[in-house]
Structure formats: structure tokens, C-alpha cells
Amino acid sequence: MTTYVLVPGAGGSAWFWHLLTPHLRAKGHDVVTVGLPAADEDAGLDVYAETIVTTVGRSAFDGNAAGRREDLVVVAMSMGGFSAPLVCDRLPVTALVLVNAMIPAPGETAGAWWTNTGQEQARRASDLAAGRDPDADFDPVTYFFHDVPAPITTAALEIEEAQAGKPFGEPWPLPAWPDVPTRVLTGRDDRIFPVAFQTRIAEERLGITPELLPGGHLLALSHPARLAELL
């Protein structure tokens, strides 16, 4: 049995995974959904990593207890790409899966990542190609929820928490990407991290060509069944 550890992006809500979780469990897998202390101004990347470890539970890997978790796959969404890899030396992770995720370089901050990778230019080019005004006021529905069912969008916007700035100012501490099998899953219609942009970054930084699936940035809310199949 695989245990999927689901790490959210900015805002840190475990609720983000609530539609995906039943699909994974229906396939006979265990699921751990992580809630990160995103609103805590004192919480940085190390606290995020420790929160993931604590949520999984170290004791679940001790000895041969009945509750022992095996085949641990860590799934990271968006900004979760900065925190999820940090647990690979703290838990027996068998695989990492990045879902429309930010892929950091050693020493890079999440705040600098946007400029370093050319995200803004990629977003503008995608907007122009699709007939959207790249200079319009930023609308989260346009960029994040355009393919998410309306009731789910309403619920998400009601529970959305502010993301504190500390993790964006901390250099990513690893000297290299963890030596763990890694997959990159990308939504073909992601408007904030366009598919060509994600493909370029994944190939440049990890040497991995993303696996594509229908949908935008919030795949666990818009296409949970399809995402479960790929996982």
C-alpha cells in the first residue's frame, strides 16, 4: 500500500486535497493531508518541513508496528515544491511528485524564483496568446479557478488564508535536488505557470519532461479523478 503525503501550496490548507483524497483511498492507498502554518509570520521553510514530518508521524516508521507506513510518496503543489523536498532526509520518501509546482535551485528564495525563472514574461505571453489582457488587474478566479466548479471556488475563497512572507525570503537550503525518484505533473491550461514555462524549468533544473494532464493550476480541485489516476 502506498502512502501519499499531500503538501499544499501558498495558504497551506489541507482542504485543498479534499476531492483527491477519496479517489486515492478508493484505490486502496493511505493518504496524509498536510496543513502548513502559512499565516504564521515566524514560520519558515524548516518549520514547514517539520510540520510535514510531524503530520506523517515519525513513529509510523519505527519497527514493524501495525501502523507502519510504507512506500511513502510526497506530492507537492505549487509553492509546496520549496518545502516538500526538505523532508527526504527526515522520512523514508520513495518518490516525489510535483504538481504545477515551483522547482527551486540551491540557495534561491521563493521570492526571487519568479524573476529568476521568467514567470512573469511567460504568463504575459500566455495571456496574449489566449486573448487575455496581461495588464488587467490580477483576478484569482481568472488565473487559479477558471476550470474549478463554482461551488468549490466559492468555498476555497471563503477559507483562503493569507500567506506569510518569511518562506519567500529564505534561501532554499539543499545543495542539490534530493536523490529521490521525481515526477512532474503539469496542467495543460495552467494560466499562472503556463505549460511551456513549466516544461522549460523542469527540464533545465531537473532534467525531467513533465507529464501533461487536462486542467489549470488547481488540478486537485478541477480534475481530482484524473490526477489520482496519474498518481
The domain that holds 138 is classified in CATH as 3.40.50.1820
**What's the CA gap between 88 and 71, in Å, rounded?**
13
Q: Is the dihedral of CA 136, 139, 143, 146 positive or negative?
A: negative
Determine the length of the chain.
231
Q: Which of 15, 14, 38 is nearest to 168 (CA)?
A: 38
Q: Give the number of C-alpha atoms closer than 13 A to the C-alpha of residue 210, restricted to the C-beta side.
A: 26
> pTM for this one?
0.94
Q: pLDDT at position 65, please?
A: 42
Q: Which of 21, 40, 78 is nearest to 48 (CA)?
A: 40
Q: Is the pLDDT of residue 70 over 90?
A: no
Burial (0-12, 13-18, 19+ Cβ within 10 Å), 50: middle
Mean pLDDT of the chain, nearest integer: 94
Q: pLDDT at position 62, please?
A: 44
Q: pLDDT at position 61, please?
A: 53
Average confidence (pLDDT) over 80-100: 97
User: Residue 209: which domain range?
Assistant: 3-230
Q: pLDDT at position 59, please?
A: 44
pLDDT tens for 133-164 read: 999 999 999 999 999 999 999 999 998 888 99
Using pLDDT thresholds of 50, 70 and 90, give the confidence band for residue 68: low
Count of domains for the chain:
1
Average confidence (pLDDT) over 38-42: 96
Of the candidate ranges 68-82, 125-139, 214-228, the one whose mean pLDDT is the lowest: 68-82
Average confidence (pLDDT) over 108-113: 98
Average confidence (pLDDT) over 79-83: 98
